[in-house]
Amino acid sequence: MSDCLFCKIEKGDIPAEKVYDGDSVFAISDINPQAPVHLLIIPKKHYSTILELDEKDQELVGSVFSAANCLAKDYGLDQSGFRVVVNCGAEAGQSVFHVHYHLLGGRAMHWPPG
Ligand code: AMP
Ligand code: ZN
C-alpha cells in the first residue's frame, strides 16, 4: 500500500527506530508512548485490520507472539508483566490501518482499559 505509514516504515521510506526485524514481522518504538515501554509489532505484509486475519495466517500470528515474547524478555518485562493490545476499527481507537500489536509495559496497567 503506497500511502500506508507502516508500509513506508517497513520499506525504510520513513525513519523509525526498529527494535526487532524478523522474516514476517518487525517492531518499532511507538512515537507517542503510553507506558515506559511501548512497542508496535507490525506484520511486513499489509493487512488493514485483524478482520483480514484467519487460519491462513497462523504462522504470521505465531511470529507476532515470538517477537512479543522475545521483546518482553529483552526489555525485562517477562517477570513483571506486560500487555499486548490490538485495536480494530474506529471505536476501538485504531488510527493506523495496517495491523499492529501494541506491547506495553513498565508500569501497572488498569482494567478495563478506557
Ligand atoms: P492505533 O491507534 O492502535 O492504530 O495505533 C497507532 C499507533 O501508531 C499509535 O500509538 C501512534 O502513536 C503510533 N504511531 C503513529 N505514527 C508513528 C510513527 N511514525 N512511528 C511510530 N509510531 C507511530
Ligand atoms: Zn501498510
Domain ranges in the chain are 5-105
SS (H, E, C) the chain: CCCCHHHHHHHCCCCCCEEEECCCEEEEECCCCCCCEEEEEEECCCCCCHHHCCHHHHHHHHHHHHHHHHHHHHCCCCCCCEEEECCCCHHHCCCCCCCCEEEEECCCCCCCCC
Cβ-contact 75, 105 below 8 angstroms: yes
pLDDT for 2: 81
pLDDT band at 114 (very low <50, low <70, confident <90, very high): confident
- The more confident residue out of 2 and 70 is 70
Average pLDDT over residues 60-75: 98
**Ligand 1 binding pocket, CB closer than 6 Å:** 5, 16, 28, 30-32, 40, 87, 93-96
Atom of ligand 1 nearest to the CA of 32: 12
Average pLDDT over residues 45-67: 98
Three cell numbers at 50?
485483524
Kindly list the catalytic residues. Answer: 100
Which residues are bridge partners to 39 per DSSP?
Answer: 29, 103
Average pLDDT value over all residues in the chain: 97
* pTM for this prediction: 0.98
Architecture of the structural domain at 5-105: 2-Layer Sandwich (3.30)
- Whether 107 shows a pLDDT value over 90: the answer reads yes
